[in-house]
Amino acid sequence: MSSNKSRSNTGRIALEPQRRHGKLRVAALMEAGAAVIAEKGFQAATMAEIASKAGAPIGSLYRFFPNKEVLADALIQRFHKLIDEAFEKTNVQIKILSIKDLTGALLSLIVDLHGEKLAIRALLEAHSDWSARRGEFRDAVLRRIAQTLRLRSPRLSPKMAGNMAVIVLYNMKTVSALNAKLEGEARSGALTELHEMTRLYLQERLRQKH
């Protein structure tokens, strides 16, 4: 959450604790919320199930999140934060990463957030107000990818970096799809080919001077 309290469309707010114990409790509740929503969908998930998943009293969940909509809004904000943190982690090392390592970092980003992504997908599909954020998420990720590419190769034009970001995002999503649809050697072989294809693409484009 980007501030001490986050507000949902209902006007209710999520309480963000200041003490370490409270922060850990909220983190556990949000993790449980993401897991239950990812598994059952937003409409079917209940606050009782989320509290049980977190091993917390139901009163503790309602104390921090007055209703399920407030929890959902907090999860969406957290997903934004996790994406930003993942890109920042890569950007800090951008000058020393090999193209192979950069490829791996980018293609693994969505996979590493798999559980969170499933929960967010369930949220975006459950409510018209939240579904409007789908485009916002995509645009935000594209901007972060383009920023990372230009940090690695400052000579890239904004237009080139933006075009490349679309390809990279598509490949990131393909990794997630392959993990979901294939198993064993078929999955391993396909992922190896996708990584190599993306590495060669980035290697060629990032050395260009325009």
Looking at the 3D structure of the chain, how many domains does it have? 1
pLDDT tens sequence for the chain (210 residues): 334 344 544 456 566 665 767 688 898 999 999 999 989 999 999 999 999 999 999 999 999 999 999 999 899 888 888 899 999 999 999 999 999 999 999 999 888 887 787 788 888 778 777 777 788 888 999 999 999 999 999 999 999 999 999 999 999 989 988 988 999 999 999 999 999 999 999 999 998 644
Rounded to whole angstroms, the Cα distance separating 134 from 138 reads 6
> At 36, which CATH number?
1.10.357.10
Give the rounded distance of the alpha carbon of 61 from its chain centre.
Answer: 23
Q: Which residues contact 136 (CB under 8 A, 6 or more apart)?
A: none
Task: Quote the pLDDT of residue 111.
Answer: 81
Structural domain that includes position 185: 5-206
Task: Quote the pLDDT of residue 12.
Answer: 60
Q: Which two tokens stand for residue 24?
A: 């850990």
